[in-house]
Structure 1
């Protein structure tokens, strides 16, 4: 019998195993390292990035925040003597500046019954209704900007509470010898929580700053910056202007109370800018889904993420015999 010899096929490379490499992994590591190199952990950077709002959380947050705001505002001691003294001082300052026309406006508008009654109801209702409507609109149409805008509103309201503590102020209708007309009492409407049957439920000497102006200006600027329809942007600017006329006509605030509300709003926007690194209207309109966030740069939504095919598969095909 002849010798049995085994010959090997030459010219075929020997297959070597190679690990599966995920192309997205280096990107994730690079991003994480970049986050630390820029001075903050990835967790903090994640908290400062806009997120998709959740409806149940926002409802609870807004309800709880307004409850706390009302509780704290009404818990401020009613320092009547100091509040009346501050009102006299505000009135004297406005007189020297030549802007003490609140009494003239109050008497003029009060002479038109249908107008002043409408303003009473405006003062009592739109302050809340419009603000909630703008929040809902942001939630559905501009979710990427919602959190930053909401933070500006909340910070504005929070700093206003400090003003109520530090500077108690009586509204014009409660001034001694001011000859202002309390339009709610005269016309028997419920246009103010600090008049009539509601006066024992609200702090009557928390007029500085005016959150009617702070909130209405927040609504107006938000609508003006983000609305696409020209008529909506115009209404956005008219809303705080009309609110200013209402709070003066009903003798609930001085002009300078409105300036205090504007100052609080500026503080609120500063806090939002410091946290998110941009004003709300400069942020993206929508927040990408988590899967879209994790995609490597250069891939659009809907493009599948591919991994490198193991080298063993190609080697196995090349080394397999042509027939059996």
Structure 2
């Protein structure tokens, strides 16, 4: 592999003069994320439903229906439109099985409606966002697993050398492959621009890289669960992000890629985040995968969020969802601006801090589009979810997504 065009004389230490403006204590970030989640749990609670005492009447979901064959139209989700199926059962069994159609096979799954008065079921009904919190805990656990899996696979060859070769291959592809026209600017040039005369701005980007990714993504999930016009719309965005995650995690395992900041010094990159002592608590620990540059989930998440905000603006939609009303011109352009500006800012951040290559962002974008097109693949897990709910003796709650949106006239 020829790398002569990438190596440059570089002394990053002597060029760095910026001082960290502030630093959060290690406990602050988990507290911030937990606060966002529990605030969302409170805001999305089911009003009028009491955990203890006489239960207020709530809508019944068609997940209770014995004939819910069409439930495979939703993954890990619920029907927020079904009403009164409890009274519509016909049969000799009080709790007949739910019929799931999975990959053309009809599966009779346990009916969990018998557990609706269990205390943990009532807690879930009161706070349905707890289900979303559980899903993202699974996502985070899977990410932690990628480091162990990748190190095991490349134990003999040495994962560090393999990841470095892959990182250099990305630089080569950006400059010499048939896709080189997509990368007119080099990552090193972007970082050098900030290093030479704009180091205060780079300090801001260092903080942004460390502190925005997790809280920003969690905050978006919470906010969109609250304001999406329907649960189906929210679930589509959540499934797309989740499948993008899984595509990225598989890539992390089988294609470990060293970020520019960890390449040998002759390639001209500086690890500015650590140099600025701006590391996030999520970037440290035994199971953090530091060799997971390809693709960039910083950009993958931000692109997903950005496109959702553009959709939410309503500017490019001729028709609205049921109960949704047109937003004012200010809010349309506000969501459009944030929808385009946020991923653009994250792209600048990940490149300027030498945490990712431009191709990492391109692959993340590709994964988002593939995940959007294929997100229904997750429907195969619905029977498994039924079984797990039966094991823990709980009934899945009906989501509150869209309730406050409709109450406020669709102007959120």
Q: TM-score range by the shorter chain?
A: 0.5 to 0.7
In the TM superposition, what are the counterparts of 1:125-136 in structure 2 within 5 Å?
A: 125-136=211-222
CA distance in 2, matches of 1:91, 1:166: 19
- Deviation of the 1:232 alpha carbon: 2.1
Unaligned runs of 5+ in 1: 1-40, 277-284, 288-324
Q: Which residue of 2 aligns with 1:148?
A: 236
What is the SS of the residue equivalent to 1:184?
A: helix
TM-score (norm 2): 0.53
Q: Which residue of 2 aligns with 1:190?
A: 279
- Deviation of the 1:206 alpha carbon: 1.0
Deviations 1:94-144 (A, max 9, x none): 222263511111111133222111111111121112212221122112242
- Which residue of 190, 196, 200 corresponds with 1:105? 190
Taking only aligned residues, the RMSD between alpha carbons, in angstroms, comes to: 2.6
TM-score (norm 1): 0.66
Q: Which residue of 1 aligns with 2:209?
A: 123
What is the SS of the residue equivalent to 1:76?
A: helix
- Deviation of the 1:75 alpha carbon: 4.1
Q: Say if 2:241 is the partner of 1:216.
A: no
Q: Which residue of 2 aligns with 1:180?
A: 269
Q: Which residue of 1 aligns with 2:169?
A: 89
CA distance in 2, matches of 1:104, 1:175: 16
CA distance in 2, matches of 1:210, 1:234: 22
In the TM superposition, what are the counterparts of 1:35-54 in structure 2 within 5 Å?
A: 42-49=67-74, 51-52=79-80, 54=128
Deviations 1:24-60 (A, max 9, x none): xxxxxxxxxxxxxxxxx95341241463492121122
- Which residue of 139, 150, 153 corresponds with 1:76? 150
CA distance in 1, matches of 2:306, 2:358: 18
- Deviation of the 1:240 alpha carbon: 0.6
Deviations 1:51-110 (A, max 9, x none): 349212112222232222223345421711111111122112222226351111111113
Identify if the C-alpha distance between structure 1 residues 248 and 193 changes in structure 2 by more than 3 Å, giving closer, same or farther: farther
Kindly indicate whether the alpha-carbon contact (under 8 Å) linking 1:210 and 1:258 is maintained by their aligned counterparts in 2.
Answer: yes
CA distance in 2, matches of 1:165, 1:56: 29
In the TM superposition, what are the counterparts of 1:306-321 in structure 2 within 5 Å?
A: none
Kindly indicate whether the alpha-carbon contact (under 8 Å) linking 2:240 and 2:371 is maintained by their aligned counterparts in 1.
Answer: yes
- Deviation of the 1:169 alpha carbon: 0.9
CA distance in 2, matches of 1:115, 1:44: 55
What is the SS of the residue equivalent to 1:152?
A: helix
Kindly indicate whether the alpha-carbon contact (under 8 Å) linking 1:110 and 1:183 is maintained by their aligned counterparts in 2.
Answer: no
- Deviation of the 1:260 alpha carbon: 1.2
What is the SS of the residue equivalent to 1:216?
A: helix
CA distance in 1, matches of 2:305, 2:168: 31
CA distance in 2, matches of 1:152, 1:206: 20
Compare CA radii of gyration and give the structure with the larger one: 1
Q: Which residue of 2 aligns with 1:235?
A: 338
CA distance in 1, matches of 2:349, 2:287: 22
